[in-house]
Structure 1
Amino acid sequence: MVVTNIVGLIDNTYLKPYGTTEDIERLVEDTARYGAYSITINPVFVRYARDYMSRRGYKLRISVVIDFPFGALTTDARVELIRRYSGLVDEYDVVVPMGLVKSGLWRDVEDDIKTVVEEAHRLGKVVKVIVEDAYTTREEKLELYRIVMQSGADFIKTSTGFEEREYAERLGNRVGAQVENVRLMAELSRRYNPRIGIKVAGGIRTYQQVLELLNASERRPDPTEFRVGTSHMLDIIRTMPKS
């Protein structure tokens, strides 16, 4: 697959806990300048970003992360956050309830994700479910991917980018977006939900990485099917071939 410009697939991201309003302004300006699909930010800056874009005349999409990066809130709290920001955002990136996943409480995991997805859709929003690949075994991935795909989520997303490397390595995993996990998502989606989009995130800094992950996803280079979450959009642009 040859893609000359993948910027329109990017959710331009700033999620560092020490970020400032100036960082959000730069994120918005870069997104508007280069034509990324959206910005992805923490809830604390949603109102500021929306007001700033209004002053600048920008009509950009905003995605807000929910229960990020741990996936440690109750279902009720997650749903409440989705409702609270529904008038300001277009999309949600929601972390799976990781403690329930690691406890093998699959019925509870399924109920939580289904409830969260249904609430987001009731409000007319796109919802991406972050499965945090670095924290799960292959057996856990098989069950978790199935649950996410059958929940009706718009996207399954690889990672937060905030994984604990030491724990991941104990499981034999690497942090960030990995081609083998995206291939598994594509394989299982053929059985459970061929329409689900795939979002790759975590450690993506080059154009070549994007192409490899896109090819593994078996999706078209269309933002309704494939997204790239990255805080390194400018690095990706610098590594793109010159037309």
Structure 2
Amino acid sequence: MKRYTIDQLAQMIDHTNLKPFADQAAMESLCREAQQFHFKMVAINSVQTALCKHLLEGTDIHVGAAISFPLGQTTLETKVFETQDAIEDGADEIDYVVNLSEVKNKNYRYIEKEMETITDICREEGVISKVIFENCYLEKDEIEALARIARKVKPDFIKTSTGFGTGGATIEDVKLRAPAKIKIYP
């Protein structure tokens, strides 16, 4: 069994404050705690990216901007703008929520284009890409289809939950994968 040091474990944690009422004092506290415990990243709403980048200047702690958070219900063009804006403000990581309406519509071409576009922007800028599925609203076949798309596009990480939905990650969700036989396009 592999053993980890406290610092190695801390480097696996995204310290998060995505509350809609989080003010500057909350961001200062978040960044102070991230430094104190040497967390890998602070996850924040994109509007706070520049502030957190400034507060964490000179550290190795990443600033992760949440895009189209928490609902994912914006157009691809809006997500592209928000992604580019957050990167310009200093984001080292991008967490974006897939368009759940298009998943429910089985419009997997749209979802693939969305994932590919956001992931490509991140790759070009040297920024980590994370796609959030929000599994609590999805059926098993939808999760598998998203996993198949992600397997093709290869974002850096897949997340199962925003923490704002009706349920969080489950062991069953994590075990799910895209079977080779699943067809994602009609």
TM range (shorter): 0.7 to 0.9
Q: Could you tell me which of 172, 175, 179 is aligned with 1:183?
A: 175
> C-alpha displacement at 1:142, in angstroms?
1.0
The one-letter amino acid paired with 2:132 is I
Following the alignment from structure 1 to structure 2, what is the Cα–Cα distance between the partners of residues 141 and 53? 35
- Aligned residue pairs, count: 176
Contact preservation (8 Å) 1:72, 1:97 = yes
> C-alpha displacement at 1:2, in angstroms?
4.9
Following the alignment from structure 1 to structure 2, what is the Cα–Cα distance between the partners of residues 2 and 22? 38
Contact preservation (8 Å) 1:40, 1:62 = yes
The match for 1:41 is: 44
> C-alpha displacement at 1:60, in angstroms?
1.9
Following the alignment from structure 1 to structure 2, what is the Cα–Cα distance between the partners of residues 22 and 44? 15
The one-letter amino acid paired with 1:183 is K
The match for 2:134 is: 132
The two structures, once aligned, show a CA RMSD in angstroms of: 1.7
Following the alignment from structure 1 to structure 2, what is the Cα–Cα distance between the partners of residues 3 and 179? 22
The Cα offsets for residues 167-190 of structure 1, whole Å up to 9 and x where unpaired, read as xxxxxxxx11111111124xx49x
> C-alpha displacement at 1:3, in angstroms?
4.0
> C-alpha displacement at 1:38, in angstroms?
0.8
* Correspondences of 1:109-188 after superposition (within 5 Å): 109-163=111-165, 165=166, 175-185=167-177, 188=178
> C-alpha displacement at 1:157, in angstroms?
0.7
Following the alignment from structure 1 to structure 2, what is the Cα–Cα distance between the partners of residues 119 and 53? 23
The match for 1:27 is: 30
Give the 4+ runs in structure 1 shifted more than 3 A.
1-5
Contact preservation (8 Å) 1:131, 1:144 = yes
> C-alpha displacement at 1:18, in angstroms?
1.1
Q: Could you tell me which of 102, 105, 126 is aligned with 2:104?
A: 102
Following the alignment from structure 1 to structure 2, what is the Cα–Cα distance between the partners of residues 3 and 131? 30
> C-alpha displacement at 1:149, in angstroms?
2.1
The Cα offsets for residues 99-149 of structure 1, whole Å up to 9 and x where unpaired, read as 100111111111111111111111111100001110100111111111122
Structure 2: gaps of 5 or more residues: 181-186
Taking structure 2 as the reference length, the TM-score comes to 0.88
1:73 is aligned to 2:62: no
Identity of aligned pairs, percent?
A: 30
The match for 2:84 is: 83
Following the alignment from structure 2 to structure 1, what is the Cα–Cα distance between the partners of residues 106 and 130? 22
> C-alpha displacement at 1:98, in angstroms?
0.9
Contact preservation (8 Å) 2:38, 2:61 = no
Contact preservation (8 Å) 2:44, 2:64 = yes
The one-letter amino acid paired with 2:84 is R
